[in-house]
Structure 1
Amino acid sequence: MYAHLPGIDVYYEDHGDPTRPGNPLVLLHGGMQTIDLSFGALLPRLAPHRRVIAVELQGHGRTADVDRGITLENQSGDVVGVLDHLGLERADVLGFSWGGYVALETALRHPGRVDRLVLAAVNTRADGYHAEIGDPAQWETSTRMPTAEEFGAMVAAYERYGLSTFEGVNAKLQPIVGAEENWTSAQLATVAAPTLVVIGDHDFVRVDHAVAMQEAIPDAALAVLPRTKHSEVVARVGILAPILEDFLGR
């Protein structure tokens, strides 16, 4: 399904019965991924219990890259646009990696629209990543990087839908992902939504950085998933789903 927003048609999937108890949950995928690649394991676990709305952001999957910048402001506006399209005043929002950037921006720019916030594998500063992530010479030996199979699946999704190019979209994301600082501690202190910060112990994101995020956000909890790298955080459903159900159900 598509929400026809000004200048862009945003693809989304609406899973679950709208009359089910609990807030709707918006899922925002990782960079260079799709709904299926990020949430293929988690979505079937969550949808039987609550309404779940999964969105594909500009330049990803079935949402084309259009003639405007890929910015956090634009994409957070698209999330709100999908909520408006569905007639939803508020929702819980879970963002993974790049989707977590968009989720955090949505909570800051549109605090009245986000009830609970889950930031999965998200950093706020470039130095929140382990140093090896910024050094291509270390990628082949790093236990934190995606496998060749995982990388191939991302490229294949672009070839399948043909609405954007992998290289073109990746080039637009990198200045934001590599920015020295996207949000200050003072900005994090204004997050109004109860927040769950989730990383893996072998994530791109350093554990001490995740702790600093949790301490900066007024009402935040932290979960570190064992034996889990960045690309696996939202796929470890046996560990993650009970944590989410507890946090979102409070």
Structure 2
Amino acid sequence: MSYAEVNGLRLWYEVHGTGRPLVLLHGGYGAVEMFAPVLPALAGRRRVIGVDLQGHGRTADVDRPLRYESMADDVAALIRHLGLGETDVLGYSLGGGVALRVAIQHPDLVRRLVVVSAPCRRQGWYPEVLAAMDTQDERTGERMRGTPPHELYARVAPRPQDWPALWVKTGELLRREYDWSAEAAALALPTLLVFADADSIPVGHVAEFFGLLGGGHRDAGWDGTDRPTSRLAVLPGLTHYDIVTSPALPAAVIPFLTTQVREPA
């Protein structure tokens, strides 16, 4: 457990297990602890590097806005700082957006990508979820005091008084339009998409995202030779909010990380 000085940021990371590296990127208002229920299963097969993103957990904020692109650069700088080489990257929700941007911006650093409960464009969220994102500000953060995310932040953050500022910056990030469809379609690495069957992202967008990665266009053939490089897992009985703690998540992820996948042409 340590800090890495990257891009003017003291980025917190912690390492668990041994083997090929797997970077974990948490969701909004969270920290590495989001993965605590599934960490033993993942660390049993991988050298897991959990990261607290800018302004989250033990990583203090700096004087720059929160952006998926800059946080992706931070993660890439950490991978280089640690000398990890080609690395597997898994991100959940906000961290899923960051993970996707790492693969887009730094494809030489990512061996396999896992995006959990995150769309490839902002309009991929349900309208009511977008409406909730539009309201996230300092007042919302104040109302969230005493909740488990706030209790964790108060316990581990270098400056616990920055909690309202995190909501201001995150709200501004979440209200920004983006569409990474073309960049996602151009990815040339094995990618696994994981969603809950009652996620905050409609199944129509799940199918669209999977299609951009080459999935769902044809029958794989009796011997599977026409199977796409991309993979899709829709986990039953889960939502956007509990998928990250379910044992079904590592059960879907580990085979993808450890099984030979035909490389894209």
Counterpart of 2:196 in 1: which secondary structure? strand
| Structure 2 residue aligned with 1:24 | 21
Given that 2:115 and 2:193 are in contact with CA atoms closer than 8 Å, whether structure 1 keeps it comes out as yes
State the distance in 1 between where 2:101 and 2:230 align.
Answer: 16
Unaligned runs of 5+ residues in structure 2 are 133-142, 215-228, 260-265
Given that 1:123 and 1:129 are in contact with CA atoms closer than 8 Å, whether structure 2 keeps it comes out as yes
1:192: how far off?
A: 1.7
Number of aligned positions between the proteins = 233
Given that 2:144 and 2:150 are in contact with CA atoms closer than 8 Å, whether structure 1 keeps it comes out as no
Any residues of structure 2 matched to 1:80-229 within 5 Å, and which? 80-136=76-132, 152-162=147-157, 163=159, 165-183=162-180, 185-218=181-214, 219-229=229-239
1:235: how far off?
A: 1.0
**221-230 or 124-133: bigger deviation:** 124-133
1:214: how far off?
A: 0.8
| Structure 1 residue aligned with 2:252 | 243
What is the letter of the counterpart of residue 52 of structure 1?
Answer: V
TM-score (norm 1): 0.87
1:74: how far off?
A: 1.4
| Sequence identity (%) | 39
State the distance in 1 between where 2:156 and 2:185 align.
Answer: 39
Unaligned runs of 5+ residues in structure 1 are 137-147
Off by >4 Å, runs of 4+ in structure 1: 148-151
Given that 1:176 and 1:182 are in contact with CA atoms closer than 8 Å, whether structure 2 keeps it comes out as no
User: Are positions 1:34 and 2:31 aligned together?
Assistant: yes
State the distance in 1 between where 2:145 and 2:179 align.
Answer: 27
State the distance in 2 between where 1:168 and 1:189 align.
Answer: 35
Larger Rg: 2
What is the letter of the counterpart of residue 56 of structure 2?
Answer: H
1:182: how far off?
A: 3.4
Given that 2:25 and 2:91 are in contact with CA atoms closer than 8 Å, whether structure 1 keeps it comes out as yes
